Amino acid sequence: IPPDKYNDFIEANRIEDASERMRTLRKLIRDLPGHYYETLKFLVGHLKTIADHSEKNKMEPRNLALVFGPTLVRTSEDNMTDM
């Protein structure tokens, strides 16, 4: 996620209504620059494949989020406290 979009994604994730949150997140993802969008699309597809085999590899979506979340969504200041 581009650093300049960090706050937009964080704010979208704070939306209480689940359908509105998903609508907003989808729009933010669609509005990413092409190379960011295509990279994210590929990576999410790969992570889904990993999660589909979680009974063997123990990497459920929650575990994947813990491992990859800080790498994918980081502040422009790259401050671990803020992350």
Structure tokens at 83: 């992350």
How would you write the pLDDT of the chain (83 residues) with one tens digit per residue? Answer: 888 898 999 999 999 999 999 999 999 999 999 999 999 999 999 999 999 999 999 999 999 999 988 887 776 665 655 55
The pLDDT value given to residue 81: 57
Considering the domain boundaries, does residue 81 fall inside one? no
**Do 38 and 66 belong together in one domain?**
yes
CB neighbours of residue 14 within 10 Å = 9
Considering the domain boundaries, does residue 11 fall inside one? yes
Find the domain containing 48 and state its range.
34-73
**Do 39 and 56 belong together in one domain?**
yes
d(CA 62, CA 79): 22
Q: State the pTM of this model.
A: 0.74
Please tell me the total count of domains within the chain: 2
**Do 26 and 41 belong together in one domain?**
no
At residue 27, the 3 state secondary structure works out as helix
**Do 19 and 49 belong together in one domain?**
no
The pLDDT value given to residue 80: 56
- CA 6, 72, 78 angle in degrees (round to 5)? 60
Structure tokens at 47: 């992570």
Considering the domain boundaries, does residue 78 fall inside one? no
